[in-house]
Structure 1
Amino acid sequence: MKSIFIAEPYYSVCRYIEETLVKHGYEAWLVGGSVRDLLIAGRLSDLDYTTNARPEAVQKIFPRTVPVGIKFGTLLVLYRGQKVEVTTYRADADYEDGRRPSTVEYAQELAVDIRRRDFTINGLAYSVLKKQLADYCGGVDDLERKLLRTIGDPMQRFSEDGLRPIRGCRIAAKLGFEIEPNTLTAMRHCVPITSKVAPERFFDEWRKTLRMKNRRSYWHHLLEAHILPAFLPHIAEAFVGEARDQFLREIDHLQMRSMAEYAAALFFLLQITDRGKIEQTLRGTKFPTADMKLCLNLLDSPLLRIADAHGRLDLKRALAQTGRRDRIAHMRFATQMRAALQTSSGLQPGPVRKGRELAVSLYKSIRRSGEPLDISDLAVTGTDLQAKGLQGRAVGEALEKLKLIVLEQPQLNTRERLLQLVGKST
């Protein structure tokens, strides 16, 4: 296992947190995913500290704090633009709802706090001042073996918090780890508890895989742990045969910028076309309204229906039917889905890649040319047409006709020429 090196500005922040707490007679350890990521990748994403100082003491010691979870012993310490989560050592307590402890019991020893955590690879602690790594549960060994295993009894860990199995699937996928057999078995047995997790919490774990490289593994683990049907039953039903193979083959390679694109790809690749099932799935996971609308629009994108994605006029007509704001998303989604279908039909990767590159190149050419695609691109406005005597719905209808004309003949998009065309039609 590689030695721990913390780069600036994080090193200075860590020293400040530890020196301040130690100066006041307390312990301080960088803990959890922070240490895990340092050992695996040599970099920090979050700064999480644990200490034997009580929350009220932390508030007094540090000049700038935010009581984000003070009920559970957690505060944010603000220093040099960084947010450091500082949590008091805790002991095991009773969990009544499969989500959070009914009471909080503070502890005085680091080992007690570590042993109540979820996975061994998250049970590591490091002191910057001491240059010491604390490993009470075999976390370093599991990191080296690339194994996700719970601390202690997996049934107890998952009964305490139903989100842990879902989170475990994501962490294992992110790191490229296998799930230890007893841990996986416990995940399956605890599905009745996991299914009580709020849809928003499931969605948040799903959202965290948007930028992940190993999305395929995440979905594989959810299926393997029998979790998928509890939250996405229609997705689970479709996860069979060629549709499943197509999804697993493509999902790691897709470029997606939003959860709308992610969900649309899921439905498209798994060949789920029933609008009712799609909307039920999105509502059931508390999908944000804007993302839900875009997802449905992408699945019905005119760019998926054009016969020739390499024909300039065909592509312009299809682009003109999409909203300006979401046009890039439509293009990105449609080109990737068309390529996926071509791959599934047996077309070799080379021609598929070349066809996608041609379509993207044509799209960029259209954008650079400034050719009109929207009514707002026309050289005339509704006010101009009203001055010509048009009123009410006739104005909108005339603008739409002019748009169709200049799509085919962009050179006609001048104020003088368009007003002449309006004059001829009235």
Structure 2
Amino acid sequence: MGKFHIHPAVLEVARIFRKHDKEVYLVGGAVRDLVRGKVAKDWDLATNAKPEEVQAMFHRVIPTGIKHGTVTILFKGLSIETTTFRTEGTYSDGRRPDTIHFTHTIEEDLSRRDFTMNALALELPEQRLVDPYNGQKDIQNRIIRCVGDAAERFYEDGLRPLRAIRFASQLLFTIEPHTLKAIGPALTITAKVSMERIRDELDKILASEQPSLAFRLMETTGMLNLLLPELQACRGVEQKGFHQFDVLDHLLLSCDAAPKDKLQVRLAALLHDIGKPVVRAQDELGIWTFYRHEEVSAKLARTIMIRLKYPNALIDQVCHLISVHMFHYDENWTDAAVRRFIVRVGESALEDLLDLRRADTWGTAGREPPANLNQDLVDRIQEVLSKDKALSIKDLAVNGEDLALLGIPRGPVMGRILKELFETVLDDPEQNTKERLSYIAEQLYKKYQ
């Protein structure tokens, strides 16, 4: 095997270890990526040097997890996580080892890893590959396989079943049968994992090329019902009209079709119809209806995202997209209707909403929509935005100070008048002059007295 491309600073760090007669190996995702022919990003090292010995070798070392043998070396712009060879004791809580023990060989250290593809080590600086569990072969065959007994690995850490599924989605690998079969019985351990760790794995799934691969594996193993029961409830909920799929398949296809670099749109695509099982009803003709499902979907999405500890700003962003996704544009919309649409959606959310609509359309028919989907609406929006515009109350030619000078008292009445002035300007932007709005405000105040 030829030499891999290792960052020069990492090789320099390795030579310093060797200068002190210590072994050092590149481990983790970097080795997996290099074997796959990809560019390594994270540089993690394993060594027989104790943490305090590592601290003595380098000027800048952060004791990130020193009681577990881990420190971070800051060297020439890199942060290199470095861990002493170790084995682990029992996992009584299904999340972290009760004890760790420093050991003497890289082979013992690799025995505690989750999957064979992650149980590779590259000795530095020579680049000798250490592969006691045939991880290289599994990588070549695109297989995810636990190190040793899958049930034991999953009972040690309840996040590992979700990590297996996430890797299958990220790398487009297959989980081998014994490992896949062990996921279901380990879900009681997965249930103990913190929501923050679950969320982080879900985010990585949502950033993959085809998140539906992971969610389908979650469904077949029972994990979807554990972590996202609201999503599982969408299975078998048939729809109407142009929809070719039940609600769950529609949501998964929509999620795949959303831009993978926009977490807010992928989440909105995944959850935008999640309220349909709740509101589904049959009309007098026996046709399924889903009236106001967007409102229920937004509420359920908020509940789910709060449970998963997402930031409030992202929750608001996603739930807003879901709440406004049911728009029906046609060429008969007036300019005033377009302005009201922009105000309701928010100028900053327009691009995301159109991305969501495209993903929604893709998920409805199961095929890519035309490139010019919604182009007429986009043109109308750009036309409105290119003009002098008043798309919020603060854009009015008058403000509260101006109304106060007219004798209008501050308070609820002034607020109502400002809202009515804004509605007037949305209908006719030509009205947005100080003189005209002052006159209208005085007439409105007389009405309210």
Say whether the fold is shared (TM-score over 0.5): yes
Structure 2 vs 1, CA of residues 384 and 21 (structure 1 numbering), >3 Å: closer, same or farther?
same
- Is 1:411 aligned with 2:407? no
Give the 3-state SS of the residue equivalent to 2:272 in structure 1.
Answer: helix
What SS does the aligned partner of 1:5 have? coil
Name the CA distance, whole Å, in 2 between partners of 1:371 and 1:346: 37
Counterpart residue number, 1:207: 203
After TM superposition, the structure 1 = structure 2 runs for residues 248-267 of structure 1, keeping only pairs within 5 Å, are 248-255=252-259, 259-267=263-271
Partner of 1:357: 375
Distance (whole Å) between structure 1 residues aligned to residue 175 and residue 77 of structure 2: 37
Matched, 1:304 2:326: yes
Tell whether the 8 Å contact from 1:52 to 1:88 is kept in structure 2 after alignment.
yes
Say which SS state the counterpart of residue 199 (structure 2) adopts. Answer: helix
| Matching residue's letter, 2:320 | N
The verdict on how the C-alpha distance between 1:229 and 1:140 changes in structure 2, with shifts beyond 3 A counting, is same
The aligned runs of 1:10-409 (5 Å cut-off) are 11-240=7-236, 242-255=246-259, 259-272=263-276, 273=293, 274=296, 277-301=300-324, 304-308=326-330, 311=333, 312-322=335-345, 324=346, 327-329=347-349, 331-340=350-359, 342-343=361-362, 349-351=368-370, 353-391=371-409, 392-409=411-428
Counterpart secondary structure, 1:362: helix
Deviation at 1:306? 4.7
Q: Measure the CA separation in 1 of the matches of 2:27 and 2:93.
A: 26
Displacement after TM superposition at 1:211 (Å): 2.6
Residue aligned with 2:62, SS = strand
Q: Deviations over 1:101-149 (max 9, x none)?
A: 1111111111111121011111112234203222121111111111111
Q: 1:45 to 1:347 in 2, by over 3 A?
A: closer
Q: Counterpart of 1:38 in 2: which secondary structure?
A: helix
| AA at the equivalent of 2:326 | L
Provide the residue aligned with 2:240 in structure 1: none
Q: Residue deviations 1:182-234, cap 9 Å, x none?
A: 10011122111111111221111112233322212121222233211111112
- Mapped to 2, the partners of 1:4 and 1:389 lie a distance apart of 78
Note if contact 1:99-1:161 (Cα within 8 Å) is conserved in structure 2: yes
Moved more, 138-147 or 255-264: 255-264
Separation in structure 1 between the aligned mates of residue 48 and residue 235 of structure 2, nearest angstrom: 47
Give the distance between the partners of 1:362 and 1:20, measured in 2 at CA: 63
After the TM superposition, which of the residue ranges 408-417 and 41-50 deviates more from structure 2? 408-417
For residues 227-284 of structure 1, give each alpha carbon's deviation from its aligned partner in whole angstroms, at most 9, with x where no partner exists.
Answer: 1111111211213461122123221220266655443322224454446644443333
For the residues of structure 1 that align with 2:440 and 2:95, how far apart are their CA atoms?
66
Distance 2:85 2:332 in 1: 61
Match of 2:282 in 1: none
Question: In the aligned structure 1, how far is the partner of 2:2 from the partner of 2:438?
Answer: 72
Matched to 1:243, the amino acid is: V
Distance in 1 separating the partners of 2:260 and 2:170: 17
Question: Deviation at 1:308?
Answer: 3.5
Name the amino acid aligned to 2:377.
Answer: A
Displacement after TM superposition at 1:373 (Å): 0.9
With over 3 angstroms needed to count, the CA separation of the structure-2 counterparts of 1:147 and 1:345, relative to structure 1, is closer
Q: Give the distance between the partners of 1:5 and 1:370, measured in 2 at CA.
A: 55
C-alpha change, 1:43 and 1:81, in structure 2 (3 Å) is same
Letter of the 1:403 counterpart: F
- Measure, in 2, the Cα distance between the counterparts of 1:285 and 1:347: 29
Paired residues in the alignment total 416
Structure 1, unaligned runs of 5 or more: none
